[in-house]
């Protein structure tokens, strides 16, 4: 191996390393939304009583190709489409309303109908004493 060949192969190897390490990481979207429950980050007014407004978190479930969305004291349900390549989700309720959402893989947050949601982890059973 000549000095020129050695230098050229070293340069090629180093260049490949720096290009690969500088490349942005591909988004890591979930393969599916099935069996996930999301809860709104903020609380919203869900009803009004004579004693005043009632605030609660909104919930959003994805199961069996359907979504169930509880934005207030009512329930919206319908079909949804999930694109695991882009993180986009679109749902069409039985009443015909279209909901659009976007999953942010960096913060693990789903934006749906203008509000932010986080995956709600299932409750762990309490230890019996």
Q: What is the pLDDT of residue 77?
A: 96
The secondary structure element, H or E, covering residue 36 is strand 36-49
Predicted pLDDT of residue 17: 45
Ranges under pLDDT 70 in the chain: 1-28, 122-129
How many CB atoms are closer than 10 A to CB 77? 15
- Predicted confidence at residue 1, as pLDDT, reads 60
Q: What is the pTM of this model?
A: 0.70
What pLDDT was estimated at residue 59? 94
User: Coil, helix or strand for 11?
Assistant: helix
For residue 89, give both structure tokens: 């989700």
Which CATH architecture best describes the domain 36-119? Beta Barrel (2.40)
Predicted pLDDT at 20: 46
Show the tokens assigned to 92. Answer: 């069409």
CB 87 within 8 A of CB 106: no
- Cα–Cα dist 108/117, whole Å: 9
């Amino acid at each position: 191996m000549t000095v020129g060949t050695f230098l050229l192969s070293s340069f090629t190897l180093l260049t490949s390393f720096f290009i690969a390490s500088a490349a942005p990481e591909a988004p890591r979207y979930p393969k599916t939304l099935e069996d996930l429950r999301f809860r709104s980050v903020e609380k919203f007014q869900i009803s009004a009583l004579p004693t005043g407004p009632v605030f609660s978190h909104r919930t959003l479930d994805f199961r069996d190709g359907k979504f169930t969305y509880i934005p207030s004291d009512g329930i919206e349900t319908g079909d949804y489409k999930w694109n695991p390549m882009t993180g986009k989700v679109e749902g069409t309720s039985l009443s015909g309303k279209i909901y659009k959402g976007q999953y942010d893989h960096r913060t693990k947050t789903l934006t749906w109908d203008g509000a932010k949601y986080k995956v709600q982890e299932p409750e762990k059973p309490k230890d019996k004493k």
